[in-house]
Amino acid sequence: MKTFKAGMIGLGTVGVGVYKLLQSFNKIKIENIAVKNINKKRDIENFNTNLLTDNPFDIVNNPDIDIVIEVAGGISPAFEILSAAIKNKKHIVTANKELLAKRGSELFGLAKENNVTILYEAAVAGGIPIIMPIKTTLCANKINKIAAILNGTTNYILTKMAEKELSYETALKQAQDLGYAETDPTGDVEGFDAAYKIAILSTISFNKKIDINKIYTEGITNIKPQDIKAAKELGYTIKLIAMGQLLDDGRVDVRVHPMLVAKKHLLAKVKNATNSIMISGYPVGDLVLTGAGAGAEPTSSSVVGDLLTLTSELEISDYPLPLTKCKHDENAVQIDIGDTYNEYYISIQASNNPGVIGIIGTICGKNNINISTIMQKGIDEDNTAEIVVITEKSKESDVKNALENLLKSDSINKINSLLRVMN
């Protein structure tokens, strides 16, 4: 059995997990590991510090190294490091979702020119196998829709807000204490992490390059306890949903935002830090994959799985895993959120005056919006009431126009919330 030499970029939580797991496989030998701080103590028993370097180019320029494992994250210097590695004919295994979402097209182009492979199972959903199944087992299918919970931090927060009736701030603090959320949770709670992941999934599923800058992205920071409570009364739960859809005319609809998800829906049952991905395609129909979407052990499972798959191919071929090569040369035509059609949950704060519900109904009607449910949530001390509306499927731009018109009415104080609905 041939032994392959690998170099690692990064030795944080995921890197440590990868290093420990690789000790069980003699097929892959870690030659060097590039880190920012060589003197930092590592949670690895009997660790050989001679493996460490603070210059990643020691690794990518080493002719003895066959594979570069990148688990450091970020755009720079990761892009420059991996570009150099590819030009030096080294295969890549990475968990870097942001890099692939923003500059993956350039890296895959370089890999094609240099006949090397980039594997990235760990970049999308931690331990859930999704990239390789789409590229291999499901390659006979036309995938037309993905709906997914791709961020464990936000799912944990929303779960605790619903089950324990916590405020957003309290649930976030709990997630931070448990290590689910970073000290600066912006990437998670504002939806950016999920956007990177749905960009990657949509690109490989629809065989069209997705522009991350054209993905409508909305996080969970404005979700209020009263929204959670109203959703529950109406038979829904709120989740941060990453969605990609191939439309009949060939355009794509890719977005990330909170949604009211009907309790009967499978995604409504996904709780805490768990991830779940629903794929719809022909002829396979609907598939659901659920599991741990982050953490050292699940993520290292995917990284090492990619490594073992790659090295098995390299033993028998100088053109490994042809099905995994980049095939998306066409840029997707992505539709604007204003052109999408959804059902909507709208919370309106209105004066407790006769005819207010009639005003809401009239303005919605003038903007081509049918109301399926409307209810008043009591009267506040200032003689205003919260009125909750669920619409039938409507165009986003029509809904936004209706809200602007509502705010011009003397009877409407403010729009508390606007959320889309998944049934």
d(CA 266, CA 278): 9
Q: What is the DSSP letter of 73?
A: -
Environment class of 63 (CB within 10 Å of its CB; exposed 0-12, middle 13-18, buried 19+)? exposed
Q: What is the DSSP string of 271-285?
A: -TTEEEEEEEEETTE
Bridge partners (DSSP) listed for residue 53: 34
Q: Residues 168, 221: contact at Cβ < 8 Å?
A: yes
- pTM, two decimals, is 0.96
Omega of the bond prior to 77 within 30 degrees of 0, cis?
Answer: yes
- Tens of pLDDT, residue by residue over 140-186, are 999 999 999 999 999 999 999 999 999 999 999 999 999 899 999 99
Domains of the chain, CATH where assigned? 4-126+296-324 (3.40.50.720), 131-292 (3.30.360.10), 340-422 (3.30.70.260)
Catalytic residue among 90, 97, 135, 197: 197
Q: Are 117 and 92 contacting, i.e. CB atoms less than 8 angstroms apart?
A: yes
CA distance 319 to 294: 31
Residues of the chain with pLDDT under 70: none
Query: What confidence tens digit (pLDDT) does each residue in 347-402 have?
Result: 999 999 899 999 999 999 999 999 999 999 888 889 999 999 999 999 999 999 99
197 is a catalytic site residue: yes
CA dist., res. 156 & res. 323, Å (int) = 35
